[in-house]
A = this chain, B = another copy of it.
C-alpha cells in the first residue's frame, strides 16, 4: 500500500484553468500519460454546473485558484488568446509553473516579457505559445532554417476549420450557423515540393470554403456576396459558399479538424547545385485535442525545468526535446536515436 502511494505521489499534478474545447482536450491527454494526474479544474462558471471526466479530480471556482499554489506542479491555462491569456498567464505565472497556447503571433514578444517578469518574480517556469502553430510548426521552421540557411520556407494551413472565419460568417445578417474550411492549394504545394521556390500571393496559397445555414427567407445572394467581399477574412481569397440545412451542418461538419504543412526548400554544395526539401505536416481530426496533447508534453517539461531550478518564461525554442518525453535519456538514446 505504501509502495502504491509512493508511485502515485510521483505523478505530476496538473490543474486546468478554463474548461472549453482545449481544457477538455487537456483532460483527455492527461489520461493518456501515466506519469500525470489531473487534480483540479478551475472554472468561471458555477463549479457545481461543470461535469468533468476525471473522478479523482475536483472542480473549483477560478477565484480559489491561487490557494492551490502548493498543491499543483503545473497549471495549464486553457483560455483564449484575445482577452484571457494576456491577463491570466502573467497573473498565474507568479504562483505556478504554467503552460499556455497564446497564439496571436504578432503579440508574442510582448506577452513573453510580461510572463517572464512574473515567472522570475515567483521563481516559476512558464512556457508560452505551445501547440502546433505556434508550436510544432515553429520548431520545424527553426530547425529547417538553421540547417538550410539558403532557402525559402512556406507554411500552409488546412484542410481545417478556422474558428475565426466561421465566426465572421455567423455575424452576417440572415446567417443562422456556419462553418469555414481553410484549404491549401495543391498546385502551390506541388510547386514548392518541386523546388521552384514560387512567390505566392495570399490567393495562390489557400482557398476558403463556407457551409452556411441561412435563416428562413434570407437573401442568399446577398449573404454570399457579403462573405466573398469581406475584407481581410475573404476578399483576398477564392471563396466557395454552400448553403446547406441545419441537419447537414450537424451531420457533416461538426468536427474540428485541422492541419497543415511547413516546408523548406534549400540548396547546398560548392555551386549551390544540390537541392533539398524538408517537409513537416499534420493531419488532425481534432485541432483542440492535438493542441492539448502538445501542451501536456510541455507541462512535463515545465515541471522538470522548475525542479532543476529554472525560472522565467520559455518557448518551444528553448526546451531540449528530451524534456518532453516520459522516457529516460538512456532509454531515448537506446530506442529512438
* Interface pair A109/B333, CB less than 8 Å apart: yes
Q: Is A225 an interface residue (CB 8 A)?
A: no
Residues of B within 8 A of A148 (CB): 293
Residues of B contacting A285 in the complex (Cβ-Cβ under 8 angstroms): 273-276
* Contact pick for A146, options B297, B318, B333, B337, CB 8 Å: B297
A89 CB to closest chain B CB, in angstroms?
15
A206 at the interface (CB under 8 A from B): no
Assess whether A145 is in contact with B336, with CB atoms less than 8 Å apart. yes
For residue A68, CB closer than 8 A to chain B, the reply is no
Q: How far is the CB of A75 from chain B (nearest CB, A)?
A: 20
Tallying the copies of this chain within the complex gives 2
**Known contacts A109-B330, A146-B325, A325-B146: does B337 contact A129 (CB below 8 Å)?**
yes
Q: Which of A33-77 contact B (CB under 8 A)?
A: 33, 53
Q: Are B149 and A143 in contact (CB under 8 A)?
A: no
Contacts of A326 in B (CB 8 A): 146, 149
A19 within 8 A of B: no
Whether B336 and A142, one on each chain, are in contact in the complex, defined by CB atoms closer than 8 angstroms, is yes
Residues of B within 8 A of A280 (CB): 140, 278-281
CB of A158 within 8 Å of the partner chain: no
A334 to B111 Cα, complex, angstroms: 11
A200 on the interface (CB 8 Å rule)? no
Residue A284 at the B interface, CB < 8 A?
A: yes
CA distance A292 to B147 in the complex (A): 9
Inter-chain contact A321/B268, CB cutoff 8 Å: no
Q: Do the beta carbons of B112 and A333 come within 8 Å of each other?
A: yes
Given contacts A143-B136, A270-B28, contact A276 B290 (CB under 8 A): yes
Contacts A32-B150, A268-B289 hold; do A337 and B134 have CB atoms under 8 A apart? Answer: yes
Is there a chain B Cβ closer than 8 Å to A277's Cβ?
yes
Q: A292 to chain B: which residues have CB within 8 Å? A: 268
Q: Does residue A162 face the partner (Cβ distance < 8 Å to B)? A: no
How far in angstroms is the closest Cβ of chain B from A318? Answer: 5
CB-defined A-B contacts under 8 Å, sample of 25 = A28-B268, A32-B150, A32-B268, A33-B149, A108-B333, A129-B337, A136-B147, A141-B336, A142-B324, A143-B321, A143-B324, A146-B321, A149-B326, A268-B290, A273-B285, A274-B284, A276-B286, A276-B293, A280-B280, A280-B281, A315-B333, A317-B329, A317-B332, A317-B333, A318-B321
